Structure 1
Amino acid sequence: MLIGQGVDAHRFGAGRPLVLGGVSVPHDQGLAAHSDGDVVIHALCDALLGAAGLGDIGRHFPDTDAAYAGIDSRILLRRVMASLSERGLVVRNADLTIAAQAPRLAPHVDAMRAVLAADLGCAPARVNVKATTTERMGFTGRGEGIAAFAVVLLDES
């Protein structure tokens, strides 16, 4: 069994869609990033890569590479999963936390679980997504951005 953890955070940016866990979430701002800014998937990729001892998302998909400009983060997640599959690793479970003062995320959690489970190759029951505020403290509490945290458990297939 291999355990990995990942963290990502991005500030809000105008004129961009908000995508979290592979799901479009209605909001007046998206997240500023080189890719689509999906902090949930970025944290998940870091957790997966970390569990496998393969570094981090920046090493595999650098923000200095124009090929990743605006890329759908699900593509990155699928590439990470292909790399894990080549090594005989499977996801046993993933637990994700999103820290955001706004928007309200509870209505989108089930859709995120389904999307992520599909890309991870596991049942939605093996993927837990939860959202929390930071009680108006810190950059997320001030509405400046969103952070995400991920923990995964991998096993040999």
Structure 2
Amino acid sequence: MMSRDSMNSDAGTVMIVDDEAMVVGAIQGFLELETDHLVIPFTSPQAALERLAEESVHTIVADLMMPGLDGVEFLTRARELRPEATRILLTGYADKENAIRAINEAGLYQYLEKPWDNDALAFAIRNGVERSQLFRALTERMGELEAAHEELAGLRERWIHAFL
């Protein structure tokens, strides 16, 4: 499958990762009906990581309890691959220890409990997409400023040599 840069999508790209196909389908269906986001669904965290290695997304929503690779581990690896992507953890097993672990290890943006409230989920995803877009724009601006700084430093150096 050919990869494309989803970060160019103004509406935002959202990856949903949950080992329960019914949960993935419910969130995907809701987002496709109620938002303009491009939704990339996965029931395998390993397959989702492979996709992230090829393609950028704005926001990742992952379940905490998944076989083989839990949500915190998945989001930690996702952070290494795509640090600009906003990470949201969805769980039916809310506890303080996992919340703290997720925040510290995965750089978690939001922690939502199952059953989720569609409005709260949509709000978190929309804010996550905006955060990711702003992060990318800032990174591009910083690159432009660094290039301009290097150009000015070179110009300054040439002027000094011309007048000395």
Q: Structures share a fold, TM > 0.5? A: no
Q: Which structure's relative contact order is higher, taking Cα pairs within 8 Å and 6+ residues apart?
A: 1
More strand by share: 1
Q: TM-score range by the shorter chain?
A: 0.3 to 0.5
More helix by share: 2
